[in-house]
A and B are shown apart, each in its own frame.
Chain A
Amino acid sequence: MEKFVQIEAVGQTFDTKKGKFVALRDVDLSIRQGEFIALIGHSGCGKSTLLNLIAGLTRPTDGALICDGREIAGPGPERGVVFQNHSLLPWLTCFDNVYLAVERVFAAKEGKAKLKQRTHDALALVGLTHAETKFPHEISGGMKQRVGIARALSMQPKVLLMDEPFGALDALTRAKLQDELMKICDATQATVVMVTHDVDEAVLLSDRIVMMTNGPAATIGEILSVDLPRPRNRLALANDPKYIAARAAVLEFLYEKQAHKEVLAA
C-alpha cells in the first residue's frame, strides 16, 4: 500500500490564556507501510504535537489524518505508542504491564494461555524474559523503556509511534536500544514514526527524515530520504559517504536554515 498513513493539510491551534496559538499549519505527509520515519526539529517545533495527532490523543483543528483507509478519530490499539518517560504502571509487574495491552486487543478472540504466550513473546522480543516478574522500580531506565516498547509491539499495531523513546537514556544504553529496535523493525516490518532530536539516531534508523521548521506555526521544512541498505551497522556507517552526507544535510537544516533566533543574535 503506497499511502498507509496520510496526513492532509493538518493544522493545530491551541486556545491559550493569551489567545490562539498556532502550533502546526499545512502539514502534508504520506507514510508507506513498513517505512521508518523520523520527525526531527528544534524543541517547540510541534513534532510531539504531530505525533499526538497521529496517535489520536488530540484532534486537529484543520485537515484530516487517515490510517489504513480510516480517519483517525481517537486513540486506538492499531497505533501503538511508546512514551518518552516509559509510562509503566508502577503497581503492575513488567508482565502485567504488557498483559494489560495484550488483553485489550486479543481477549475477545483468544484464550488466557494464548494471551500469556503473546505477553511472554513480546518481552522475549526485547530481551526481558528474565525481568517478567519485576516491578518497574526494580529495573533500570533502559529496561523500562524496553518494556514500554514490548507493550506497544504486543498489540501488533499497524503503526508504532515513539515520542523521543531514548531521550532520557545514557548514550551507551541508547545505542544498544537503537540496534535492538532496528532488529525488531526488520523482523516485524513495522511502520514507525519516531520523534527525536538526535541527528545520528534519525539517520541511522530512518528511511526518511521529516525536518520541521521552528514554531510557532511550524510545518514540514524538508524531507530527506536516507538511502542506506539494511541491515545497517553503526560502525560501518560511520565512514560511509552517504551516511555522512545525510547527517550533514540534517545538521545544515537544523543549525543554518532553522537556527534559533537567539543563536543568531548571540
Chain B
Amino acid sequence: MTTMTLIQGNTALAASPTNDATDQGAAAMAMNDSSVGSGSAASVTAAPVPPSAQEPARAAAGRRSNEALVGVLKVVLPPLIGLAVFVGLWYLVSMTSPQLPGPAKTWASAVQLFADPFYQNGPNDMGIGWNILNSLQRVGIGFGLAALIGIPAGFLLGRFDFLNRMMSPIISLLRPVSPLAWLPIGLLVFKAANPAAIWVIFISSIWPMIINTAVGVQRIPKDYLNVARVLDLPEWKVFTKILFPAVLPYMLTGVRLSIGVAWLVIVAAEMLTGGVGLGFWVWDEWNNLNVEHIIIAIFVVGLVGLLLEQALVLLANRFSYEEK
C-alpha cells in the first residue's frame, strides 16, 4: 500500500511541470491569437490613422512581459491556492475544536522552536534539529545497510535464475509484513532499542531494492549482452560498461521507493523504541499535551521525506540515459 501511494505521488509530481508547460504554451498561443484578432480589428476601424513604427514594438514587449508574468502565475498560483485552502480548512476545524491549535498558534510555536534548534537539556529534552538528525542517522544506517546487501543481492537474483526461484517464495512471504512486526525480533536479538529501530528500517527498506535491481538485470536487452559477447569483453568490463549502466535506472527506482519506506517507518519505530528522534519527540509531546509541536512534527516529517525523495529523483534523472 505505502509503496503504491508513493509511486502515485511521484508520477503526479513528475507530471505536473510538463502539464504546466503545455498549458503555458496553449495560453501563449491563445493570447497571440486574441492579440492578432484585436490588432486586425483595430486596423480596420482605425485605418485612416497609420500607427507609429514604435508602437507595435512597445506593444510586443509589453505582451512578452505580460506572458512571462502569466507564465509565472500559472506555475505558482495553483500550489499557493491549494496551501491557502488547506490552511483555511485547518483554521475552520480549529475554530470548532478548541483542543486543536490553529495555524497562527502553531506558527508562533514553530518560530519559537526553530529559533534554537540545537539546545540540549538532557536526553529527554533536545532541540528539533537533534531530533531530525537522529532520525536521519537511523534511516541512513538502516537504509545504507539495506542498499549494501539488497543491491548486490538483486544483481545475483537477476543474473541466476536458480537463485531467483530459490529466493522468490521467501521474498514474497516476508515483503508484505508490516515493518513494526519486525521490532520485537530486533529487540530480542540486539537487546537494545537503537539497533532494533535500525533493524526495522533495514528489513522494511531492503525489498524494493532487491526486487527492482533483479528486474533491471532480467530486462537488459539481449542486444547489449550480444555486444559484450561479440567483443568478448572481460567480465568486469561487462559489469561496469554494460550491466551496471543498464540496471542503474531500475536500481535507483528501488532506492527511491526504499528511502520513502524507511522514512515512513522511522517515526513509528521511534515512537515505540524511544531515545532521541522525531518519532519519540511526537510521542513525548503527546504526553505533554503539546499539540502544536505534534503538528509541527507532522510538517517536518513530510518536508524531510519530500526532500529525500526529490534528491533521489534528481539523482535518478542525472544517471538515467535516453532510450535509443
Contact = CB atoms under 8 A, between A and B. Distances in A.
Contacts of A85: 223
B226 interface: yes
A90 B323 contact: yes
A57 B230 contact: yes
A125 interface: no
Given A136-B324, A137-B322, A81 B230 contact: yes
B244 to A, nearest CB: 9
A193 to B, nearest CB: 14
Contacts of A92: 241
B231 interface: yes
Contact of A90 (B229, B230, B231, B324): B324
B232 A77 contact: yes
A10 interface: no
Contacts of A260: none
A83 interface: yes
A100 B229 contact: no
B232 A104 contact: yes
A91 B321 contact: yes
A233 interface: no
A83 B227 CA distance: 9
A225 interface: no
A101 B231 contact: yes
B231 A87 contact: no
Contacts of B233: 100, 104
A55 interface: yes
Contact of B226 (A57, A77, A80, A90): A57
Interface string A83-95: 1010101111000
A75 B223 contact: no
A83 B226 contact: yes
The secondary structure that dominates the A interface is loop
B278 to A, nearest CB: 38
A104 B324 contact: no
Contacts, number: 56
B223 A83 contact: yes
Contacts of B223: 83, 85, 87
A137 B323 contact: yes
Contacts of A55: 230
Contacts of A74: 229, 232
Chain A, interface residues (CB within 8 Å), range = 20 to 34
Contacts of B144: none
A89 B243 CA distance: 11
B237 to A, nearest CB: 7
B319 to A, nearest CB: 9
B250 to A, nearest CB: 13
Interface in A52-82: 55, 57, 74-77, 79-81
A79 B229 CA distance: 11
- Binding site of B, secondary structure by majority: helix, strand, loop or mixed? helix
Interface residues of B, number: 19
A2 to B, nearest CB: 27
Contact of B229 (A75, A80, A137): A75
B114 interface: no
A106 interface: no
Contacts of B234: 104
Interface string B235-254: 00100011001100000000
A253 interface: no
B160 interface: no
A89 B232 contact: no
Contacts of B226: 57, 81, 83, 87
Contacts of B321: 90-91, 135, 137
B224 A87 contact: yes
A74 B74 CA distance: 61
Given A57-B229, A75-B232, A77-B231, A100 B324 contact: no
A119 to B, nearest CB: 14
A140 B94 CA distance: 61
Given A81-B230, A91-B321, A100-B237, 14 more contacts: A74-B232, A75-B229, A75-B232, A77-B232, A80-B230, A87-B223, A87-B224, A89-B224, A89-B245, A90-B323, A100-B231, A100-B241, A104-B231, A137-B324
Interface of A: 55, 57, 74-77, 79-81, 83, 85, 87, 89-92, 100-101, 104, 135-137, 155
10 closest A-B pairs by CB: A137-B322, A87-B223, A91-B245, A91-B321, A81-B230, A75-B229, A90-B321, A75-B230, A104-B231, A87-B227
25 contacts: A55-B230, A57-B226, A74-B232, A75-B232, A77-B232, A80-B230, A83-B227, A89-B227, A89-B245, A90-B321, A90-B322, A91-B246, A91-B321, A92-B241, A100-B233, A100-B237, A100-B241, A101-B231, A104-B231, A104-B233, A104-B234, A104-B237, A135-B321, A137-B323, A137-B324
